[in-house]
């Protein structure tokens, strides 16, 4: 669990010390984005679908109070208990009260980014209550003692061999590193736990305000089991994860799986409208929904970043991001990785000093903005966050001075001309075979991996002035 972003450069180094991770992340993201390209094309009018997705999510974000109230009223009428949590502490208090009142011995979970954000597992473990992730990828990284490195594919960085080793350690038996055999092992272990758990915890892909429902998209079916086998079902829901009706859910069910995994539909889509009614054999006896704010209303109040609340956590911005693809998710230091993480982390932490450096994990190529199914202008938000970080004085003094000097020189054609002439002379000690090598920082950061061209002794402006052009 990272506590701040101060160690960003250490984490980058860690990623580079793990060539398997880098190879696995690159290969998996390539598969995901290629599959997405195919199914987005199959649907036709992909840009129109994105526009509709954006409209729906914008409408919800702008009318969040209305839809949340409607959702809460409908769910309450249908027998669920709805709780409101303003902060992380509030959410955990509500949750632990539920856990305690049932004397829970084992909590089984289905993937929920919000519960990662709140560190639910750590709090349960402190009380000696095992919290087991039932999503295969999450289960694997839990055994490894790690956090997710991708929003949709949490164990994207693990090889089959590494998974076999983790299962060997868990079982004390030899494991074959074949996918089928590994899946069999996980299934056997998890099936029993579904039966033993007293509380099932799930996330919420989308809540439906009218008539009141929560929906879960899963590929392993664990979402169905975790919400219906244990007697108590607790939902952690980010307060923005809502759509007005099933008509809008239909649009999301086209956008989300296509963007996330390149699937036309997910294998399982569960819609839950409340606990089991009298006489019904399926379903939890008790259903709790914890609607979590934890910084979201602060983002809602800021027109510069409000659009980020459209996010449907599909992870497609990760798959196309040149930076994420090289270093994987742990480099970002918190729950959310990739471009969306680089934007969300400092906003949810409300802190640009220690967490703000994630905004430098971008080349501003705009691939994230182009990939986003609900058209969040991620690269523009990254520039905006950089601006706030510099305005608040959190960038290095040397960098601030460099840009000030740059501006003083570059806003005068005369000074600029003199500077370039000086550079053309001053570069000689670093010249080798027609390019620059070594040199002082920041030039050396470039020349360590690339040749740098020399400044021309006869710049374009001089040639033009002499009538040579």
Q: Among residues 128, 411, 425, 428, which is the contact residue for other proteins, using CB under 8 A?
A: 411
- Report, in Å, the least distance between residue 381 CB and other proteins: 12
Residue with smaller CB distance to other proteins, 183 or 448: 448
Using alpha carbons, list the distances in angstroms from residue 284 to 71, 101, 200: 19, 16, 9
Residues 147-206 that bind other proteins (CB under 8 A): none
Using alpha carbons, list the distances in angstroms from residue 180 to 52, 133, 164, 275: 40, 20, 11, 34
- Report, in Å, the least distance between residue 302 CB and other proteins: 17
User: 312 and 255 in contact (C-beta within 8 Å)?
Assistant: yes
Residues 97-156 that bind other proteins (CB under 8 A): none
Q: Among residues 84, 246, 416, 430, which is the contact residue for other proteins, using CB under 8 A?
A: 416
Q: Among residues 16, 169, 181, 264, which is the contact residue for other proteins, using CB under 8 A?
A: 16
Examine residue 247 and tell whether it contacts other proteins (CB under 8 A): no
Sign of torsion over alpha carbons 223, 216, 150, 93: negative
| Per-position x/- string for 311-330, each x denoting binding to other proteins as judged by CB under 8 A, each - no binding | -----------xx--xx---
Candidates 178-186, 270-278, 334-342, 413-421: pick the segment binding other proteins (CB under 8 A). 413-421
- Report, in Å, the least distance between residue 260 CB and other proteins: 20
State the angle between helix axes of 19-43 and 46-62 in degrees (0 to 180), rounded to the nearest 10: 100
Examine residue 407 and tell whether it contacts other proteins (CB under 8 A): yes
Residue with smaller CB distance to other proteins, 28 or 193: 28
**From CA 117, how far away is CA 420, in angstroms rounded?**
50
- Report, in Å, the least distance between residue 196 CB and other proteins: 44
Candidates 194-202, 242-250, 266-274, 394-402: pick the segment binding other proteins (CB under 8 A). 394-402
**From CA 324, how far away is CA 26, in angstroms rounded?**
9
309: CB partners within 8 A, 6+ apart: 57, 61, 240, 296, 299, 300
**From CA 243, how far away is CA 209, in angstroms rounded?**
6
DSSP state of 178: -
Examine residue 13 and tell whether it contacts other proteins (CB under 8 A): yes
Examine residue 77 and tell whether it contacts other proteins (CB under 8 A): no
- Report, in Å, the least distance between residue 330 CB and other proteins: 14
> What per-residue string of b and e applies to 373-407 under the rule 16 or more CB within 10 Å gives b?
bbbbbbbebbeebbeebeeeeebeeeeeeeeeeee
- Report, in Å, the least distance between residue 415 CB and other proteins: 9
- Report, in Å, the least distance between residue 411 CB and other proteins: 5
415: CB partners within 8 A, 6+ apart: 408, 409
Q: Which tokens sit at 318? A: 């990760």
Q: Which of 332, 314, 379 is nearest to 33 (CA)?
A: 314
363 forms beta bridges with none
Examine residue 20 and tell whether it contacts other proteins (CB under 8 A): no
- Report, in Å, the least distance between residue 449 CB and other proteins: 4
Q: Which of 22, 56, 16, 455 is nearest to 248 (CA)?
A: 56
Residues 352-391 that bind other proteins (CB under 8 A): 359-367, 369-370, 383, 385-391
Residue matched to tokens 């972003």:
5
Examine residue 22 and tell whether it contacts other proteins (CB under 8 A): yes
**From CA 328, how far away is CA 315, in angstroms rounded?**
12
Q: Among residues 280, 449, 466, 467, which is the contact residue for other proteins, using CB under 8 A?
A: 449
Residues within the interface to other proteins (CB under 8 A) = 12-13, 16, 22, 322-323, 326-327, 359-367, 369-370, 383, 385-391, 395, 399-400, 403-404, 406-408, 410-413, 416, 420, 423, 435, 441-442, 445-446, 448-456, 458-461, 463-465, 469
């Amino acid at each position: 669990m990272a506590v701040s972003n101060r160690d960003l450069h250490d984490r980058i180094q860690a990623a580079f010390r793990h060539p398997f991770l880098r190879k696995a992340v690159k290969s998996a993201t390539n598969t995901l984005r290629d599959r997405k390209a195919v199914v987005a094309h199959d649907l036709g009018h992909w840009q129109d679908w994105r526009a509709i997705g954006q409209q729906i999510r914008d409408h919800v974000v702008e009318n969040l109070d209305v839809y949340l109230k409607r959702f809460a009223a409908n769910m309450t009428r249908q027998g669920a208990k709805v709780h409101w949590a303003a902060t992380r502490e509030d959410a955990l208090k509500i949750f632990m009260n539920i856990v305690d009142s049932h004397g829970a011995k084992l909590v089984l979970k289905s993937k929920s980014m919000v519960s990662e954000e709140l560190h639910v597992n750590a709090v349960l473990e402190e009380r000696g209550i095992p919290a087991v992730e039932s999503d295969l990828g999450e289960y694997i990284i839990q055994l490894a003692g790690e956090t997710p490195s991708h929003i949709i594919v949490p164990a994207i960085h693990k090889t089959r061999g590494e998974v076999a080793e983790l299962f060997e350690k868990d079982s004390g038996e030899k494991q074959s590193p074949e996918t089928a055999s590994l899946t069999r092992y996980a299934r056997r272990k998890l099936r029993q736990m579904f039966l033993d758990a007293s509380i099932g915890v799930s996330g919420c892909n989308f809540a439906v305000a009218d008539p009141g429902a929560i929906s879960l998209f899963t590929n392993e079916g664990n979402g169905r089991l975790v919400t219906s086998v244990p007697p108590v079902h607790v939902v952690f829901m980010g307060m923005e994860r809502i759509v007005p009706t099933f008509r809008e859910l239909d649009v999301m069910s086209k956008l989300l799986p296509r963007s996330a995994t390149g699937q036309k539909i997910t294998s399982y889509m569960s819609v839950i409208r409340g606990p089991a009614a009298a006489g019904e054999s399926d379903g939890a006896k008790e259903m709790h929904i914890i609607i979590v704010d934890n910084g979201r209303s602060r983002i809602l109040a800021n027109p510069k970043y409000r659009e980020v609340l459209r996010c449907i956590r599909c992870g497609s911005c990760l798959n196309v991001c040149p930076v994420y693809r090289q270093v994987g998710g742990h480099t970002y230091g918190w729950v959310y990785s990739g471009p969306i993480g680089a934007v969300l982390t400092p906003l949810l932490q409300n802190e640009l000093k220690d967490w703000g450096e994630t905004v430098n994990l971008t080349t501003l190529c705009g691939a994230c903005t182009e990939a986003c199914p609900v058209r969040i202008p991620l690269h523009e938000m990254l520039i905006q966050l950089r601006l706030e970080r510099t305005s608040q004085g959190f960038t290095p003094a040397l960098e601030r001075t460099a840009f000030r000097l740059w501006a003083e020189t570059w806003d005068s054609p005369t000074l600029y001309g003199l500077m370039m002439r000086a550079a053309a002379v001053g570069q000689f000690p670093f010249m080798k075979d027609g390019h620059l090598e070594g040199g002082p920082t920041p030039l050396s950061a470039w020349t360590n991996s690339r040749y740098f061209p020399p400044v021309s002794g006869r710049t374009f402006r001089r040639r033009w002035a002499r009538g040579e052009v």
